[in-house]
Amino acid sequence: MLAQIGQLLIDTVAGLLVFLLLARFHFQWLRVSFRNPVGTFVIAFTNWIVMPLRRVLPSLAGLDTASLFAAWLLQGVALWLGLALIGRDPASADGFAVLAGLAAIDLVRYSLYFLIFGLIVQAVLSWVNPYSPVQPMFDALTRPFLRPIRRILPPVANIDLSPLVLIVLLQVVMIVLAYARQAVSLLA
Query: Is residue 92 predicted with pLDDT exceeding 70?
Result: no
Note the pLDDT tens digit of each residue in 25-83: 999 999 999 998 899 999 999 999 999 999 999 888 889 999 999 999 999 999 999 88
Mean pLDDT calculated for residue range 148-163: 90
CA 144 to chain centre: 16
Could you give the count of Cα atoms lying within 13 Å of 81 in the half-sphere of its Cβ?
17
- At 49 the pLDDT is 96
Note if the pTM is more than 0.85: yes
* Rounded-to-integer distance, Cα 121 and Cα 140, Å: 13
User: What is residue 59's DSSP assignment?
Assistant: -
User: What is residue 57's DSSP assignment?
Assistant: S
* Rounded-to-integer distance, Cα 96 and Cα 94, Å: 5
What three-state secondary structure class fits 30?
coil
List for the chain the helix, strand, coil content (%; round to 5): 80, 0, 20
**Confidence category of residue 174, pLDDT binned at 50, 70, 90:** very high
Mean pLDDT calculated for residue range 102-120: 96
Q: Say if CB 59 and CB 69 are below 8 A apart.
A: no
Look at 158 and 105; give whichever has higher pLDDT: 105
Q: Say if CB 136 and CB 33 are below 8 A apart.
A: yes
User: What is residue 36's DSSP assignment?
Assistant: S
Note the pLDDT tens digit of each residue in 117-152: 999 999 898 888 888 888 899 999 999 999 999 999
- At 186 the pLDDT is 81
Query: Is residue 94 predicted with pLDDT exceeding 90?
Result: no
Angle, CA 42 vertex, CA 59 and CA 48 arms, to 5°: 65
Please report, as a single letter, which amino acid is at residue 12.
Answer: T
**Cβ atoms within 10 Å of 162's Cβ, excluding its own:** 20
- At 44 the pLDDT is 95
Mean pLDDT calculated for residue range 142-170: 92
**Cβ atoms within 10 Å of 133's Cβ, excluding its own:** 11
